[in-house]
Amino acid sequence: MPAPRSLTARAERDQPKQLVVRGSTRVVGIIGDPVDHSLSPVMHNAAFAALGLDWVYVPFPVKEKLLRQAVRALPALGLVGVNVTVPHKEAVLRLLDDVSPLASKVGAVNTIVVRAGRLHGENTDVFGVQQALRGVALRGGTALVIGAGGAARAVVAALEQIGVRRVIVANRTLARARNLQRRFSTPAFQVESQPLSSLQDPRYVSVARLVVNTTSIGLHGEKFPAMAVEASPAECVFFDLVYGRQTDFLRQARAAHRRVMDGTEMLLQQGAAAFRLWTGRRPPIEVMRAALATTPRSGGSRSTWSPS
């Protein structure tokens, strides 16, 4: 006897959606080394499924010495584009046909779009930071940025666009902080460089409306250098680009009852911007957010910790 229609419909609804890749499927992805920890595939594939798009997002592990071959092959393979992650965001710049003024200013590309066989480079990390910080009053204020790598440059570019007046960059290698200062400082946007020990100096922490960790300390549970958190204004926000875990940086801020944010919203928003660039469609943000929230992190743990 055939099953009642309502039962069949429910069974179909409850079936996990199967990913079907055909000859017509449009392909995007991520290149980096490593890429196995990346949450971008689940976020983008959930978005494609929700909009009924015949698209797929694939992680491609690419070693440094093969970067040129991998990038130049994108048009030949018919890919629509890729995200670029560590360690290729800077090296990829010179392999592209054109780069947006923003990506060029930041000196890093995190999104490639293939247009008529040409490789175009964009930086959507800057937009991701801006969006993540939209609830924080920063215009005209001072921010303390810890780290001076590619992510720090995206953060500083975003802070400039938001209207922050002064940024103090504290980094282990002072020369790198100085490079960042030279790249961004203008009379209207003051960027200073300091050693990492300045985090313990109340003179720097007490003027900050925002303290951002852009270093990778905490990614694997490492202890963060001591900070003079108590000297920060009560409304100061502590923002860690590392996502989905209670890092020692955020633990120190929480212990002093400061507001904290992790890097999940930045990850989501930079991904949403890349989605829009590739598909021309409005990204289903809530679907992407839910996919990030429900996916177990590497090591098997689900993101049960949530920033305030």
Ligand X SMILES: NC(=O)c1ccc[n+]([C@@H]2O[C@H](COP(=O)([O-])OP(=O)(O)OC[C@H]3O[C@@H](n4cnc5c(N)ncnc54)[C@H](OP(=O)(O)O)[C@@H]3O)[C@@H](O)[C@H]2O)c1
Enumerate the active-site residues: 89
Q: Which residues of 214-233 are buried (b: 16+ CB within 10 A; e: fewer)?
A: bbebbeeeeebbebbbebbe
Instruction: For the beta carbon of residue 107, count every other beta carbon within 10 angstroms.
Output: 18
Shortest gap between Cβ of 110 and ligand X (angstroms)? 7
Cβ burial of 22 (10 Å; 0-12, 13-18, 19+) is exposed
Closer of 147 and 307 to ligand X (Cβ) = 147
Strand pairing category for 118-122 and 166-171: unpaired
Shortest gap between Cβ of 89 and ligand X (angstroms)? 6
Among 270, 273, 277, 291, binds ligand X (CB under 6 A): 270
Among 68, 115, 166, 172, binds ligand X (CB under 6 A): 172
Piece in contact with ligand X (CB under 6 A), picked from 18-26, 49-57, 69-77, 144-152: 144-152
Does the protein bind ligand X through residue 181 (CB under 6 A)? Answer: no
Does the protein bind ligand X through residue 297 (CB under 6 A)? Answer: no
Closer of 96 and 151 to ligand X (Cβ) = 151
- Tally of CA atoms within 13 A in the half-sphere of 102 that contains its CB: 17
Does the protein bind ligand X through residue 171 (CB under 6 A)? Answer: yes
Rounded distance between C-alpha atoms, residue 236 and residue 209, angstroms:
4
Closer of 26 and 174 to ligand X (Cβ) = 174
Calculate the CA 210 to chain-centre distance. 18
- Tally of CA atoms within 13 A in the half-sphere of 127 that contains its CB: 18
For 145, phi then psi, to 5°, come to -110, 125
Does the protein bind ligand X through residue 86 (CB under 6 A)? Answer: yes
Shortest gap between Cβ of 87 and ligand X (angstroms)? 7
Among 93, 151, 236, 274, binds ligand X (CB under 6 A): 151
Task: Judge contact between 18 and 70, C-beta under 8 A.
Answer: no
Does the protein bind ligand X through residue 121 (CB under 6 A)? Answer: no
Among 59, 141, 263, 283, binds ligand X (CB under 6 A): 263
The partner residues of 253 in beta bridges, in order of sequence, read none
Shortest gap between Cβ of 287 and ligand X (angstroms)? 18
The partner residues of 3 in beta bridges, in order of sequence, read none
For 236, phi then psi, to 5°, come to -60, 135
Does the protein bind ligand X through residue 240 (CB under 6 A)? Answer: no
**Number of residues forming the site for ligand X (CB under 6 A):** 25
* Site mask for ligand X (CB under 6 A), range 197-236, x = bound: -----------------xxxx-x-----------------
Please give the residue ranges that form the binding site for ligand X (CB under 6 A).
86, 125, 128, 147-152, 171-173, 176, 214-217, 219, 241-243, 263, 266-267, 270
